[in-house]
Amino acid sequence: MALSAKLELRQSQSLVMTPQLQQAIKLLQLSNLELSEFVEKELEKNPLLEIGDAEPANSANETAATASGNSEESSDSGNTDEWLENSVDGKTNDPSNDLDTDVETVYPDGRNDAGDHLKNSDWKSTAGSGAGASEAVNLEAFVSEEKTLTDHLNDQLQLSVSDPVKRLIGQHLIDMVDEAGYLRGDLDRVAQMFGAPRDLIEDTLHILQTFDPVGVFARDLSECLALQLKDLNRYDPAIAKLLENLHLLAAHDLDGLNRVCGQNAEDLADMIMEIKQLNPKPGLKYGSVTVQPIVPDVAVRAKSDGSWHVELNSETLPRVLVNQTYYTTVSKSAKSKKDKSYIQDCFQTANWLVKSLDQRAKTILKVAEEIVRQQDAFLTHGIQHLRPLNLKTVADAISMHESTVSRVTSNKFIETNRGIFELKYFFTSAIASSSSSDSHSSEAVRHRIRQLVDGEQLSCVLSDDKIVERLQQEGIEIARRTVAKYREAMQIPSSVQRRRKLKMAAR
């Protein structure tokens, strides 16, 4: 067969990731803080870009900085007698009397990286090209960061709590902990916000109180010291009486303590020495940083007709404009081909950035509206009414790809009547239903199992098989091993252990 050269015309399709497309995709997954930093860098590089009339979303940063500048730093207790003196006049039960700081409930962001921004300013480069070899490396970016108390507690939460409902409640309780490790806030208000029973909030708190450092999540000084003594197996009725009357100890009323505790002077001195060796502010052993409150990207408000109004938070949207007048002036004065090419590239880059920011805002709003529509029962009735939801359901409803929805819901927060949540929190797994076509959320099934167990009596303690029968009667198709897995995740004892506990309580 003879070999010969010839020309052929073929038609094919291919997806090319241009730098502009890469930028639009990366803008979707940036948080509001990362987006502000990215826009600031673009403003420095591109002379045709300028900030609009309104200020970008930096007000939250300035507010946090002002609040941190006005608050005094809490010093570690070097003298063990000082913190006892602060509890004079019966003020020991209020941790605000023992702490120097007054920290409000805030939601720390916890993300310090600025994202993977585009570092190459040459928009004509190919998609696969990286940073130039001559680009300087910022060594400060590799400096290790001191681990904060919030980071330490979040790590333990991921390992200790597998129930999504308790993990969500635990995350909120972690955000309520101040630098000293005390829990600030009312549990009844937390239960009302989540639409959950008070017992569920307290069960979650009891799990969190086992975290390191010992004594964290205490609501007052007495509880903080009691948690540490329980960990040392030194908590008894006598020392419990002493902790209930710390104001007498702070006033050096040893005779009064002897009468209350019923101990002699020697035993009382030993107990006092034991208490002085404890840490009244266990959280101060970890790094202290300026708490960065979460600024929600989307806000949901109830309307008079019972529906929900979803709107973007304008404070998180950078106002970037293209200076057309300056572009016209500079274009006319440019003489060399290189200068004209540079001005044209800057103009195209600026236009594309403005369009990308506008498209990002519209996409976030579109996804948030669909999530609110899907989770209307959660907003109305509480956390136990979360519907099963996945990325594909939302993507199909708004005619987008699942990857786009995934990027939009990353690092984005929504403010609701139930609190501030990350958009990804609304995606839950599904349990099949035998009575209807609608599935049940796994969190709702866990909540129902908890209700069945809480309603048990000594004459009728439900085994896992009985729980399966009850759920199937209610139209929830679930296997016994799934019930056992959910029960263990919620730290509910077996039926034998629960029956033994009920018998002891009946005595």
What is d(CA 283, CA 212) in angstroms, rounded to the nearest whole number? Answer: 9
pLDDT at position 136:
53
What is d(CA 364, CA 412) in angstroms, rounded to the nearest whole number? Answer: 9
pLDDT at position 290:
55
Per-residue pLDDT tens over the stretch 215-266: 999 999 999 999 999 988 888 888 888 888 888 888 888 888 888 888 788 8
CATH of domain 430-506: 1.10.10
What is d(CA 99, CA 281) in angstroms, rounded to the nearest whole number? Answer: 8
What is d(CA 488, CA 480) in angstroms, rounded to the nearest whole number? Answer: 12
Domain ranges of the chain: 79-110+146-289, 298-426, 430-506
Q: For residue 372, how many other CB atoms are within 10 A of its CB?
A: 20
User: What would the mean pLDDT of 279-287 be, rounded to a whole number?
Assistant: 85
pLDDT at position 72:
38
Type of residue at 368: A
The answer to whether the beta carbons of residues 27 and 35 sit under 8 Å apart is yes
Q: Confidence band (pLDDT; 50, 70, 90) for 472?
A: confident
pLDDT at position 381:
84
Type of residue at 327: Y
pLDDT at position 68:
37
Is pLDDT above 50 for 15?
yes
pLDDT at position 419:
85
Burial 473-501 (b: 16+ CB within 10 A, else e): eeebebeeebbeebbebbebeebeebbee
Q: Confidence band (pLDDT; 50, 70, 90) for 285?
A: confident
Is pLDDT above 90 for 300?
yes
Q: Confidence band (pLDDT; 50, 70, 90) for 396?
A: very high
Q: Is 148 helix (H, G, I), strand (E, B) or coil?
A: strand
pLDDT at position 397:
92
pLDDT at position 385:
76
What is d(CA 125, CA 405) in angstroms, rounded to the nearest whole number? Answer: 28
Q: Confidence band (pLDDT; 50, 70, 90) for 363?
A: very high
Give the pairing of strands 308-312 and 320-322: unpaired
Which range, of 7-11, 60-64, 267-271, 382-386, averages the lowest pLDDT? Answer: 60-64
pLDDT at position 87:
44
Q: Please report, for residues 393, 402, 410, the alpha-carbon distance to residue 406 in angstroms, rounded to integers and kept in the order given.
A: 12, 6, 6
Token pair 């709702």 is at which residue? Answer: 444
Q: For residue 19, how many other CB atoms are within 10 A of its CB?
A: 19
Is pLDDT above 90 for 367?
yes
Is pLDDT above 70 for 164?
yes
Is pLDDT above 50 for 133?
no
What average pLDDT does the chain have? 77
Burial 269-298 (b: 16+ CB within 10 A, else e): eebeebbeebbbbbbbebebbebbbbbbbb
Model pTM above 0.85 = no
